Amino acid sequence: MSRGRLVMGLLMAVMALASYFGYREVNPITGENQHIGISRDQEVALGLQAAPEMAAQFGGLEPDDRIQSFVQGVGTRVAQNSAAGTADYRYSFHVLRDRETVNAFALPGGPIFITAALFQRLENEAQLAGVLGHEIGHVVARHSAEHIAKS
């Protein structure tokens, strides 16, 4: 490797680190200092853009409207009755058709998904609220946006 390429690589690394550490804000919900270089509007747009693709990867949405409405209702109540309700996110809650994969996840900006496999294993509404509350926590803590900034 030539000396010029090494210097160029080091310069690019220093610029990336300066960019990452140069932008800092305090999360109003968690109180954490975060290094995130995208706005909340950009975060919401990323989540909305990724949602259909993520749903497709898990076989699409569960076709039972009663289940979808139930999960949306529980998720909405959890968000509204917590500090998450004061954040500028539009939460949406969806059950994915996948009956094999036990999982739940949140996308940047508010879309939250739970697989049918996990939903079927829950014994009551409180367990569902716990799962959805955990995912809401990822949204308000901006974990996806932090991950994007770090990469």
Which of 66, 63, 57, 82 has the alpha carbon at shortest distance from 132?
82
Model confidence at 4: pLDDT above 80: no
Instruction: Identify whether 30 is part of a domain.
Output: no
In a domain, 18, yes or no: no
| CA 92 distance to own-chain centroid | 11
**pTM, full prediction:** 0.77
113 inside domain: yes
Contact call for residues 132 and 96 (beta carbons, < 8 A): no
Mean of pLDDT values over 23-28: 65
Q: Residue 149 — very low, low, confident or very high, per pLDDT cuts 50/70/90?
A: low
Please tell me whether residue 106 adopts helix, strand or coil conformation.
strand
Examine residue 32 and state whether it is found in any structural domain, yes or no: no
Number of domains within the chain = 1
Residue 112 maps to a domain: yes
CATH code where residue 111 lies: 3.30.2010
Separation CA 109–CA 112 (nearest Å): 9
Q: What's the domain range around 138?
A: 39-150
| 3 state DSSP class of 91 | coil
pLDDT above 70: residue 13: no
Indicate the pLDDT class of residue 65, thresholds 50, 70 and 90: very high
Look at residues 116, 63, 108 and name the one whose alpha carbon lies nearest to residue 88. 108
Distance from C-alpha of 77 to C-alpha of 125, rounded to nearest angstrom: 11
Alpha-carbon torsion (111, 64, 114, 69), positive or negative: positive
Contact 136, 82 (CB under 8 A): yes
In a domain? residue 26: no
Q: Quick one: which of 99, 3, 115 has its CA closest to 11?
A: 3
Q: Decide if 16 is inside a domain.
A: no
Residue 52 belongs to some domain of the structure = yes
Residue 111 phi/psi, 5° resolution? -65, 130
Average pLDDT over residues 13-28: 54
Confidence at 150, pLDDT banded by 50, 70, 90: low
pLDDT of 17 reads 45
